[in-house]
Amino acid sequence: MKFTAQTSLFLIGALAFSAQIASAQDKPEPGSPLEGRPETEAAQKLAPMASPALPTAEADLPQLTVPEGFKVEVFAGGLDKPRTLRVADDGTVFVSTWQGNNVYAIPPGGEPKVIYSGLDWPNGIALHGGDLYIAEHSRIVVAKDIMSDLDNPPELEELYTGLSEPRPHGWRFLAVGPDEKLYVSNSSPCNICARGEGDGEIRRMELDGSGAEPILKGMRNTVGFDWSPKDGNLWFTDNQRDWLSEDIPQDELNVLTEEGQDFGFPYCHNGIFTDPEYGWGRQCSEFTDPVALLGPHTAPLGMRFYEGGMFPEAYKGQIFIAKHGPWNRTVLEGAEVAVAYVDAGTGIEKTEPFMTGFIVDNQYVGRPVDVVTMPDGAMLVSDDWNGAIYRVSYGE
């Protein structure tokens, strides 16, 4: 071939087109946690971390640190990625898991046993009136009168099928509110994207699944909420967008004080700055600010107001938050159980670590997911990295 200026231009164009095709082929699928990752060497090294394939032996569980006077013990081990915790009045603990898609029951003084298996991402569980409600990825089911015979659990009955299908952020959280209605998350199915109809909501419905309606919007991804024992307001954790920076935005703690409030996703982050892609023409003043910032990419999940009688009075009515820890930060920080101290209104005076030791030498040795209070006032913490549940007590 005789090379001319035209030939060179043709080859350059062909090479550029080939590079575009390769880039498109390498581009993560929509909804992938890698979607939007910068093409820089440091960023390319960051990706979601796989936890150990098998539960950690009890002798190898991490040495966790709690304030003076508190004690950490292993409540249960050998579980397949425990997630949400719920406790019956008699002390039976129900646990949802994501490996095996099981739901366990742990009777007082007994061993964990699978009561339901082969479900579809059964993260959300709730107990009410002797019934066990389970939020799978796209539906809610109920086990009526579950406590009557745990050895022969009842068939699951389908209540609601209106949850969005896209998988990203499909870990639903479920609870029964003070009004005796079901509340379920329907998080935004993306890292950062335009709002889809019905996405980024917490929905309320009757216990039979009827009358579903959103109570808030502009939420990105919540996997934990609870109601204030003081005024009944709904508080929720919210995981913010990735790949903007290692240090911004921070994940949030929010409170709903008026139905219909908009918490800003995808337009405004942290109540401080608009999104570089979706924030044009919008202002943060249009949306409800978070009440606390919980650190960049710390992944706050389960949260509960502490109303037990065991911990010192200073913890009464405060919020315990399980932070799962970041996967897209070079330095791992924030995998812990934290406590947020509520002020006289609907604000937070301060947050501080309560249970630490999940990171050693910039490596995970555990990742907390949820917290719940036992009838005796002790607190349980699930750890899906190790397949364990810890019991935190005071003064024993």
What pLDDT is recorded for position 18?
38
Q: Average pLDDT for residues 226-253, to the nearest whole number?
A: 97
**pLDDT for position 28:** 73
Average pLDDT over residues 263-269: 98
Residue 377 has pLDDT above 70, yes or no: yes
Phi-psi region of 87 (alpha: psi -120 to 50; beta: other; left: phi over 0): beta
CA angle at 325 for the pair 106 and 26, rounded to the nearest 5°: 115
Residue 26, pLDDT score: 58
Residue whose tokens read 């009827």: 210
This prediction's pTM? 0.92
- pLDDT at position 196 is 93
In this prediction, residue 2 carries a pLDDT of 41
Confidence of residue 14 (pLDDT cuts 50, 70, 90): very low
CATH number (2.60.40.1180, 1.10.290.10, 2.120.10.30, 2.60.40.790) of 61-394 reads 2.120.10.30
pLDDT in tens, 320-370: 999 999 999 999 999 999 999 999 999 999 999 999 999 999 999 999 999
Contact between residue 107 and residue 95 where contact means Cβ atoms under 8 Å apart: no
Q: Is the pLDDT of residue 7 over 60?
A: no
Q: What is the mean pLDDT of the chain?
A: 92
pLDDT in tens, 80-124: 999 999 999 999 999 999 888 999 999 999 999 999 999 999 999
- Write down the domain spans for the chain: 61-394
Res. 298: pLDDT tops 80: yes
